[in-house]
A and B are shown apart, each in its own frame.
Chain A
Amino acid sequence: MRWLEPGSLPWLALHEIRLAFRHARGSRRRTILRLVLLAAYAGFGIFVAYLLADLLLVPSPRFLVGGSAALVLLFTFMLTQGLLGGQRTLYTAGDLDLLLSSPLPEGRVLSAKLLGVAGSAAATFSVLLLPLALPTALWGHPRLLAVVPVIAAMAVIAAAFGIGLAIALVRSLGARGAKSVGQIIAAMLGGLIFLLSQLSSNGAMRGSRFSAVSAWMRRTGWGVEGWSAWPARALFGEVVPLLACLAVAASVFWVASTLLRTHFLRSWQSAGERSTPPSRKAGRRTAAVFASGLTGAVVAKELRLLRREPEILFSMLLRLIYLLPLVFFALKGTGGAEQFRVPVLAAIGAIAAGQLCGSLAWLTISAEEAPDLLAVSPVPRGLVRRDKLLAAMAMMTPFALILPLVLAPSHPAAAIIAFLGSLAAGWAAGLIELLFGKPGKRGSFQRRQQGSFLTSLLGLFGALLIGAATAAAAYFV
Chain B
Amino acid sequence: MAEHNTPQITDSAAPPSPALEVRGLAKAFDKPVIVDMDLSVEAGELYALLGPNGAGKTTTLRMVAGLTAPDAGSIRIFGIDALRRPLKAKAITAWLPDEPMLYDKLTPLEYLAFVAGLWSIPRAEAAEEAERLLTWLGLWDDRATRCEGFSRGMKQKVALAGALIHKPRLLILDEPLTGLDAAMARSVKDMLQAQVKAGATVIVTTHILEVAERLADRIGIIQSGRLLAEGTLAELRQRAGSSELTLEELFLDLTGGHHAVA
State the A residues within 8 Å of B (CB): 274-279, 281-282, 285-287, 289-294, 296-298, 300-301, 304-305, 308-309, 369-370, 372-380, 384
Contact = CB atoms under 8 A, between A and B. Distances in A.
Contacts of A292: 123
A440 B162 CA distance: 24
A363 B127 CA distance: 28
Contacts of B90: 376-378
B103 A282 contact: no
A275 B149 contact: yes
Contacts of B107: 279
A287 B123 contact: yes
A290 B146 contact: no
Contact of B118 (A279, A297, A300, A305): A297
Nearest to A274: B149
A64 to B, nearest CB: 49
Interface stretch (B37-45, B93-101, B192-200): B93-101
Contacts of B136: none
A369 B113 contact: no
A252 to B, nearest CB: 35
B123 A376 contact: no
Given A289-B110, A309-B105, A370-B103, A379 B118 contact: yes
* Interface of B: prevailing SS: helix
Nearest to A176: B148
B154 to A, nearest CB: 10
Given A305-B106, A379-B87, A278 B145 contact: yes
A294 B117 contact: yes
Given A278-B142, A279-B144, A301 B106 contact: yes
B246 interface: no
Given A278-B145, A279-B144, A290-B127, A376 B105 contact: no
Nearest to A287: B127
A365 B88 CA distance: 24
A248 to B, nearest CB: 40
B91 A378 contact: yes
B114 to A, nearest CB: 4
B113 A289 contact: yes
Interface of B: 65-67, 87-91, 93-95, 97, 101-107, 109-110, 113-120, 123-124, 126-128, 130-131, 142-146, 148-151, 162
B117 A281 contact: no
A310 to B, nearest CB: 11
Given A274-B150, A372-B95, A372-B101, A301 B114 contact: yes
A376 B149 contact: no
Give me the 10 closest cross-chain CB pairs, A-B, nearest first. Answer: A297-B117, A282-B144, A276-B149, A378-B91, A377-B118, A287-B127, A373-B101, A378-B90, A370-B101, A308-B105
Contacts, number: 118
Given A278-B144, A305-B105, 9 more contacts: A278-B145, A289-B127, A290-B130, A294-B118, A301-B103, A308-B105, A369-B103, A378-B87, A378-B120
Given A276-B149, A279-B146, A290-B116, A372 B127 contact: no
B127 A286 contact: yes
B127 A308 contact: no
Contacts of B91: 378
Contacts of A285: 127
Contact of A297 (B94, B116, B162): B116
Contact of A375 (B66, B88, B89): B66
A279 B146 CA distance: 8
A380 B90 CA distance: 11
Contact of A281 (B126, B131, B144, B149): B144
A380 B106 CA distance: 23
Contacts of A379: 87, 118, 120
14 contacts: A275-B149, A277-B145, A279-B144, A279-B146, A286-B128, A287-B127, A293-B117, A300-B110, A301-B106, A305-B105, A370-B103, A373-B118, A378-B90, A379-B120
Nearest to A291: B117
A377 B119 contact: yes
Choose among A278, A279, A292, A378 the residue with the greatest number of B CB atoms under 10 Å from its CB.
A378
Nearest to B131: A286
A222 to B, nearest CB: 44
B84 to A, nearest CB: 14
Given A276-B149, A373-B115, A286 B130 contact: yes
Contacts of A298: 114, 117
Nearest to B149: A276
Nearest to B100: A370
A384 B87 CA distance: 13
A372 B103 contact: no
Contact of B67 (A274, A301, A376): A376
Nearest to A370: B101
A285 to B, nearest CB: 8
A69 to B, nearest CB: 41
A375 B106 CA distance: 19
A406 to B, nearest CB: 33
